[in-house]
Amino acid sequence: MAAIWGMTTRRSPVGVLGPGHAITRYEAARLHTADAARFAGNGRIRGTFALGKLADFAAYPPEPLTCPVDELRGLSPVLTVVGGRPRHDPRGLLGGSDHPARASTGKPGVPAIALPCC
């Protein structure tokens, strides 16, 4: 999320660079998901949530598209699923299951948003 923070604020370790080139969070997230998958030649199987595509996504506890902008820089995923299987689930959101559908059971602490990965 540090890259999305930089693209939306144009802030960097050396200061603000090209503030007129800032883009919205939605545009930055799309660049890192659907557009990246298309650029890599994987747009038909990755990058968006759709029937028949791989279930690759990262989930974040605060909503990255609406949380305070300065929180973006330090956000880390609380769940990462690749090919429909959990690969990173340090909070046990899926209850030890290898089936990502369990994340939608209303269990406290389930992430607010999941972004598809490229």
In this predicted model, what pLDDT tens digit does every residue of 76-102 receive, in sequence order? 999 998 888 889 988 888 876 555 444
d(CA 64, CA 18): 22
Pairing of strands 113-116, 15-16: unpaired
Q: What mean pLDDT, rounded, does the chain reach? A: 82
* Nearest partner of 61 among 25, 30, 103, judged by Cα: 103
Global pTM reads: 0.74
pLDDT single digits (tens) 44-88:
988 888 888 887 888 888 889 999 999 999 999 999 988 888 899
